[in-house]
Amino acid sequence: MSLLRRAIAYGLAVAVAATLGTVASARASTAVVLNSDDDTLSVVSGDSYREISRVHIGRGPHHLIVSPDGRTLIVAMSGSNELVLIDRKTGVESQRIEASDPYQLGFSPDGKWFVTASIRLDHIDIYDAKTFQLVHRLPAATMPSHIAFARDSTTAFVTLQGTGSLIAIDLASGKVNWTVPVGPTPAGIITRASGTLLVGVMGSDYIAEVDPHDGSLIRKIHTGNGAHNFLASPDGKTLYVSNRVAGTISVLNADTLEVTATLIAPGGPDDMALSPDGRELWATARWRASIDVIELASGALKAMVPVGRSPHGIFVY
């Protein structure tokens, strides 16, 4: 990064810090939301359920994750072909790393590999997670979307929305282990404690449990139309599934996969996050430019917080 670029980055860092840092000190519950059509990052207060600020962050922000050491938020900017690293404690932008159309992103459980999926340009990139050096770039037809990892960190699993399939990639060699059909327009994917995979089948009304060894279908669990994405509770006992078309979020027992409740979440619920006290579920409502805040004890929709256009990734802390 040039000195001038560093200076510019510092300017943005100050802006982000002024919002994230200040709010973080005021109250523990704060949400960071990526508005993918606005190219902005919103900061939402968990006290007032209002957007406190909105800053321009770059083009096409979609998903974000926390680094394995918990110190950094990493934002995937598909439009501007970069990863934006933000210090989680201070809110200061620390680095921008060139990447090819990163849409979804994830670290392998051992922290060795970092993987991004390019849903628009049909490829998957595997990086050395320590250096962010590209190790493998694989074509993936078509629309590689969400990413999960084998518990032993040997394999990445990526849903292919365009072809209704799931691909398994050996991370060390970059070779494809298998590709199997999994259902129409698969999106979210998560690895269970048992090691099996759950895939949200957005073109239908179920999630599919898949054997990670060969991709064979184990069973289907009905959740709701447009089953899209997953969130596991920190204690591992509960799974949440957003159903985009139905406008609901299914609550599942993580052991039995039995649906225990269905929460109303209008506006095309997408990514989800739990408040630090575990009492609220926050979900981005893509089609209504807002955030659904649901009180888990009562199941009531507590607030709909207006943010920018097409809110996608969310992180609450």
Partner 1 sequence: MFEALQRLIEQIQGTVFETAVQPLLFRLGLMDWAEDSFDGIEFALYGALAVAVAYVVCRPLELWRPVECWDDRHAVRTDIVYTLIHRIGIVPAVLFVILTPIGTMIDGYLRFRGYIPPEIEQLVTPLYDHPFATFMVYMAVLDLGEYWRHRLQHRLPWWWALHSLHHDQRQMTLWSDDRNHILDDVLAVVWTGTIAMLIDVPPGEYPLVLIGFRLIESLSHTNVRLGFGAHGSALLVGPQYHRIHHSIAHAEPPFDRPRGCNFAVILPIWDVIFGTWRRIDEFPQTGVAALDGPAVRCGYLAHQVEGFRRLGAVLMHACNRRSPGFAAAFPARSTPSPG
| Window of 114-122, 172-180, 233-241, 249-257 that interacts with partner 1 by CB under 8 A | 114-122
Find the shortest distance in angstroms from Cβ 310 to partner 1.
7
| Window of 43-51, 108-116, 257-265, 305-313 that interacts with partner 1 by CB under 8 A | 305-313
The smaller minimum CB distance to partner 1, of residues 9 and 66, is found at 9
d(CA 136, CA 132) in angstroms, rounded, equals 12
The smaller minimum CB distance to partner 1, of residues 276 and 306, is found at 306
Q: Is 68 in the site for partner 1 (CB under 8 A)?
A: no
Find the shortest distance in angstroms from Cβ 287 to partner 1.
4
235-243 contacts, C-beta under 8 A, 24 or more apart: 236/193, 239/190, 239/198, 240/272, 240/281, 241/188, 241/200, 241/207, 242/188, 242/200, 242/269, 242/270, 242/271, 242/272, 242/283, 243/205, 243/269
Question: Letter for the amino acid at 289?
Answer: A
Find the shortest distance in angstroms from Cβ 236 to partner 1.
29
Find the shortest distance in angstroms from Cβ 195 to partner 1.
28
Binding mask 220-249 for partner 1 (x = CB under 8 A): -----xx-----------------xx-x--
Residues between 17 and 46 that touch partner 1 (CB under 8 A): 37-40
Radius of gyration of the chain measured on its C-alpha atoms: 18
DSSP string, 174-196: --EEEEEE-SSSEEEEEE-TTS-
Q: What share of the chain is helix, strand, coil (3-state, %, to 5)?
A: 10, 50, 40
d(CA 224, CA 295) in angstroms, rounded, equals 20
Q: Is 132 in the site for partner 1 (CB under 8 A)?
A: no
The smaller minimum CB distance to partner 1, of residues 49 and 287, is found at 287
Find the shortest distance in angstroms from Cβ 265 to partner 1.
12
CB 244 within 8 A of CB 268: yes
What token pair was written down for 127? 């990086």
When binding is defined by CB under 8 A, the residue of 68, 109, 174, 203 that contacts partner 1 is 203
d(CA 108, CA 1) in angstroms, rounded, equals 27
Q: Is 143 in the site for partner 1 (CB under 8 A)?
A: yes
Binding residues for partner 1, per CB under 8 A?
Answer: 2, 4-5, 8-9, 11-12, 37-40, 56, 59, 79-81, 98, 100-101, 118, 120-123, 137, 139, 143, 161-162, 184-185, 202-203, 225-226, 244-245, 247, 267-268, 286-289, 306, 309-310
